[in-house]
Amino acid sequence: MGVSGSGKSTIGNIISLEKGMPFIEGDNLHPLSNIEKMTAGIPLNDSDRKPWLQSIKESLKQVISFPSTNQVGGGILVTCSALKLEYRNYLRKLSLDEECNVSIKVWFIYLKGSRELIEKRLIQRQDHFMKVNLLKSQFEALEEPNEELEDEIIIVEIDDKDLNKVKNEIIDKIKLVIK
């Protein structure tokens, strides 16, 4: 989780390939109306994000229902900004969903970066609907998670670290908390 440009998709894809874990790219689940708004430089609001979060939850249910996913036992990686506690709690409710007859726990890995780093990445990024002009609204909407106040949170600082170091830190932290 984290603002656009924090590396969610890149890191998620790397870990997914390295660990053989299923991977759901949250950006691909945005309704067309959301993509059009962001492309036009209009920030999303809670109403815009609701159907997107529902799509993420439904995609998770589908992946969980595959027997091979349950046999792996190593989890599923999902990219999602999850900027607000309300959004994270909505996704956490998946573990209480009666349709999922498998025991799951939803963890959030917060890729925390400075505004300067994220802005630099967004300026360099090509072919993505989320542009640098929306970064301010993302940071304004962000309710930073706190490991002491919120369950199932891992915080990884990304400033001054290359992708490999971030990836290894995430894997090490996951090993410590997820058994």
Q: Set out the domains of the chain in order of their start, with CATH numbers.
A: 8-177 (3.40.50.300)
Please say if the pLDDT value at position 72 is more than 60.
no
CA-only gyration radius of the chain, Å: 16
pLDDT of residue 79: 94
How do residues 112-122 score in pLDDT, each as one tens digit? 999 999 999 98
Residue 89 CB partners (closer than 8 Å, separation 6+): none
pLDDT at 111 over 70: yes
Q: 59 with 29: CB under 8 angstroms?
A: yes
Output the pLDDT for position 25: 92
| pLDDT > 70? residue 90 | yes
The candidate with the shortest Cα–Cα distance to 11, out of 105, 121, 146, is 121
pLDDT band at 73, cuts 50/70/90?
low
Number of neighbours of residue 157 by Cβ within 10 angstroms: 13
pLDDT of residue 94: 73
**Is pLDDT of 104 > 80?**
no
